[in-house]
Amino acid sequence: MVEERAQRVSRGPAREEILGRVRAALADVSPEDRATPAPTPPPGAHLEGDALLERFVERVEDYKATVRRCAPEDLAATVAEALAPLGEGARAVVPSGLDLAVPGAVSDDALTSYDLDGIEAVVTAARVGIAETGTIVLDHGPDQGRRAISLVPDLHVCIVRTDQVVADVPDAVAGLDPTRAMTWISGPSATSDIELDRVEGVHGPRTLHVVLVG
Amino acid sequence: MSATFVGMPPFPTAARQALADTQLRHNLAHATGTIRAKRAKVVGEVEHWEDLRLAGAAVKARALADLETNLVRLEESLTAQGATVHWARDAAEACEVVARVARSHDVDEVVKVKSMATQEIELNEALQAQGIAAWETDLAELIVQLGDDLPSHILVPAIHRNRAEIREIFRSKMSAAGKPAPDDLTDEPAVLAGAARQHLREKFLRAKVAVSGANFAVAETGTLVVVESEGNGRMCLTLPEVLISVVGIEKVVPTFAELDPLLRLLPRSSTGERMNPYTSMWTGVTPGDGPQEVHVVLVDNGRTRALADEVGRQALRCIRCSACLNVCPVYERTGGHAYGSVYPGPIGAILNPLMRGQGDPQVDSLPYASSLCGACFEVCPVRIDIPEVLVHLRSKVVDAHREDRVPKAEAVAMKGTAWAFTDARRLAAGERLSGLAGRVLTRVGKARLPGGRATAGRLPGPGAAWTGARDLPAPPRESFRAWWRRTDGGRAEGPEQSEQKGGE
Ligand code: SF4
């Protein structure tokens, strides 16, 4: 019923009229100008090896996130260390595809938003790290879980492998699958709405720990 | 619930009121100064900034040049990914689509992500009229909504409020809208942000329907992008069952790869950050993740009118970064309200007339709200030549008023000039009159310009609009021609013959 009504709207006169107005408005534009190819944007920052990872750490920390570096065999201990300040009995949502022993782990079995609101932390992997901007991109694959789990709990521990770190935005965009839901995260949530004073921590996780492994 | 811009006076009147508000001017100067410095720093870090601007402009220009193809493609991609696409010719149609979807789910409230498009169509008022509360969740929008106020900046809509005012609004207004502010609320920004977090969390958790805009809509894939800072956007885009996104048709970007230059340009230009805290991308319905019913409303509402203007259509490239507001000497002094629109500042001065056409005195006054200094063009990440469009629109306003029965003051003045200059005797008479006026005015107006020149006070009648916000140098007491005659071209310098004690 709802669908039916919606369909009728989309095929209605508004669509034809808007497209007609667009056509008329652009009557002066030549076919060549219409078919301009996509521009080639300038390259982003060029970084490799240690400089790349150092830049990533520096830029993530610049946005008031905490970064810990560790070897693969120390991952579980490093994640536990990041969760430790929450104290005994604190729980952390762990997505089904993340193969890691996490203290207080809760699996995401159809948790409601209210359930998530009662859980202190979340531990996820990531898809890409961007050094120049200090950004982590989640594409919400099985080791990262659906979007809500990395949003509602107040502390997010995010694991990034060193081989996932790229130099700049163009490198990241080139490797992402646009059909997946994605969240780009640069530091904990923040606002500058009050006198342009930056305050870390509004609605998203107020604390972000990044574990750079490898 | 919230105020609207309907019935705003033309810019000069509104600007005079704003200029008299010293608190406002202080808040604005502080805020725009801070953000200008932040932007300059992070833009300076980018090696190829000018090339990046060229690329950003090219992406948007290309999207607009072939807009029909891109829109049809966007619709196809969205539909293929499980979204329902609606088209709305104007604000009323767009509001009706949103209201109908909301009603079909029997809700009496929706949560909202800050969106210029929904403000433009006055969606909150339309929903309220149908008994649906629309909760703004962006901190600044919340401040504006609770304060029953109007937004004054694209990015920081409450830029005109300082912390003490915000604390007062939270204390007195939060309880009527939901969870009250804590008793020990201080005016620390962190404490105020904490109060907003608590107040809004219950709304996020229970909301069934969310309304958003989009910064970009990718034709090739159907991907929508929302760029934000606080996480309220993620909450709205993720937790509710139904998501309705109201998207202006100019938001389309042809391919996913072309998001690259735009995502590099926007945060640096906007908040002065290398990247904003959160960017969400979603493509129709993602099974098992987020809203399972997704609607996209593609809105015209004057955009095709702007598109038809060959000079003005570049304004549709705007990515709403607000850099042009922050560098504008006029905006910095008058604030956003004087522009009478959700789109203030330099971009508002061109976008409103382009989308709404000529004829409304308020809109017609906007292309004059500029000194044409060009700072806006220099910072614009998509290279919109705002001064060029302003000049073009001024000529359109003049053309539109050519047939008016009551000519504008400028037109009267210009006609008078032409009349006087065509006849030497008239000019001489006019100069005598002006010299007389100069003596009178310098006596009335006590002020002096920074250079020490006397200023004429407020002009009466049609001239009042000009002198209300500017200092008019007093006309010289003696015209050049009178001086020449009296002194024989400077050879016989001597005292002026009459009114020796006049003036200052
Ligand atoms: S006109 Fe340019 S500078 Fe102004 S808001 Fe739009 S994109 Fe930003």
B286-314: pLDDT as tens digits: 999 999 999 999 999 999 999 999 999 99
- Please count the other Cβ atoms lying within 10 Å of the Cβ belonging to residue B323: 30
SS3 B490: coil
3-state secondary structure at position B66: coil
pLDDT tier at B1 (50, 70, 90 boundaries)?
A: very low
The answer for A 21-50 residues in CB contact with B (under 8 A) is 21-26, 28-29, 33-45
Cα B264 to middle of ligand 1, angstroms: 14
CB atoms within 10 A of CB B191: 18
Give the pLDDT score at B335: 80
pLDDT of residue B100: 97
pLDDT band at B453 (very low <50, low <70, confident <90, very high): very low
Residue of B nearest to A201 (CA): B230
**CA-CA-CA-CA torsion sign (B56, B386, B377, B332):** negative
Q: Are strands A92-94 and A128-130 parallel, antiparallel or unpaired?
A: unpaired
Q: Does B126 touch chain A (CB under 8 A)?
A: no
Name the residue among B79, B80, B89 with its Cα closest to residue B248: B89
Instruction: Please determine, for residue B422, whether its predicted confidence score (pLDDT) is greater than 70.
Output: no
CA of B315, closest atom in ligand 1:
1
Task: For chain A, give the number of residues.
Answer: 214
In this complex, do A148 and B258 lie within 8 Å of one another by their Cβ atoms? no
Distance CA B492, CA B481 (A): 14
Determine how many CB atoms are found less than 10 A away from the CB of residue B329.
Answer: 12
* Angle B396-B399-B400 from CA coordinates, rounded to 5°: 85
Query: pLDDT tier at B390 (50, 70, 90 boundaries)?
Result: very high
The protein residue with its alpha carbon nearest to ligand 1, atom 4, reads B324
For B202-214, what is the mean pLDDT? 96
Q: How deeply is A77 buried, as exposed, middle or buried, from its count of CB atoms within 10 A (0-12, 13-18, 19+)?
A: exposed
Residue B454 pLDDT greater than 70, yes or no: no
Strand order in the sheet with B242-248: B84-88, B293-299, B242-248, B209-212, B109-112, B133-136
Is B43 near ligand 1, meaning CB less than 6 Å away? Answer: no
| Residue pLDDT, tens place only, B182-192 | 989 998 888 99
* A195 neighbors B189 (Cβ within 8 angstroms): yes
Amino acid letter at B18?
A: A
Residues of B in Cβ contact (< 8 Å) with A183: 234, 278-281
Q: How far is the CA of A42 from the centre of ligand 1 (A)?
A: 21
Q: Residues A193-208: what's their mean pLDDT?
A: 82
Contact A199, B193 (CB under 8 A): yes
**Which pLDDT belongs to residue B97?**
97
- Would you place residue B50 in the very low, low, confident or very high pLDDT band (cuts 50, 70, 90)? very high
Check: CB of residue B468 under 8 Å from CB of residue B16: yes
Residues in chain B: 504
Mean pLDDT of chain B: 83
Average pLDDT over residues B61-90: 98
If you average pLDDT over residues A106-135, what whole number do you get?
96
Q: Phi/psi class of residue B115: alpha, beta or left (left: φ > 0; alpha: ψ in -120 to 50)?
A: beta
Q: So what's the pLDDT on residue A1?
A: 40
Give the integer Cα–Cα distance in Å for B347 and B333. Answer: 16
Distances (CA, A) of B354 to B119, B306, B307, B308, B358: 18, 5, 8, 9, 8
| pLDDT tens-digit readout, A10-58 | 457 999 999 999 999 999 999 999 999 999 999 999 999 999 999 999 9
Residue to mutate (ligand 1; options B320, B351, B377; most atoms within 8 A of CB): B320
Mean per-residue pLDDT, B194-208: 92
> Among A124, A67, A118, which Cα is nearest to A91's?
A118
Question: Rounded distance, CA B60 to CA B55, Å?
Answer: 9
Q: What is the phi/psi pair of residue A175, to 5°?
A: -100, 5
B280 touches chain A (CB under 8 A): yes
For B153, B310, B386, the CA distances from B374, given in Å and listed in that order, are: 19, 20, 8
**What angle in degrees, to the nearest 10, is found between the helix axes of B139-146 and B189-206?**
90
How many other CB atoms are found less than 10 A from the CB of residue A33? 13
| Chain centre to alpha carbon of residue A87 | 27
- pLDDT at site B497: 46
Query: pLDDT value at position B403?
Result: 67
CB pairs under 8 A between A and B: 271
pLDDT for A148-170, tens place per residue?
999 999 999 999 999 999 999 99
Whether the CB of B266 sits within 6 Å of ligand 1: no
Q: What is the position in ligand 1's atom list of the atom closest to the CA of B379?
A: 3
Q: Rounded to whole angstroms, how far apart are CA atoms B234 and B236?
A: 5
Distances from the Cα of B175 to the Cαs of B97, B127, B172, B192, B436, in angstroms? 31, 21, 7, 15, 63
Count how many Cα atoms sit within 13 Å of the Cα of residue B62 in the half-sphere of its side chain.
19
Residue of A7 and B187 predicted with greater confidence:
B187
Best of A202, A207, A210 to mutate (most B CBs within 10 Å, chain B): A202
How far A149 CA lies from chain B's nearest CA (Å)?
10
A110 part of contact set with chain B, CB < 8 Å: no
pLDDT attached to residue B462: 45
* Between residues A62 and B414, the one the model is more confident about: A62
* Closest residue to atom 2 of ligand 1, CA basis: B380
- At residue B332, the pLDDT reads 85
Please determine, for residue B33, whether its predicted confidence score (pLDDT) is greater than 70.
Answer: yes
Whether B436 shows a pLDDT value over 60: the answer reads no
Whether B291 and B242 have beta carbons less than 8 Å apart is answered as yes
> Which amino acid makes up residue B431?
E
Q: Does A141 touch chain B (CB under 8 A)?
A: no
Name the minimum distance, in Å, from the CA of A92 to any CA of chain B.
19
B85 in contact with chain A, both atoms CB, cutoff 8 A? yes
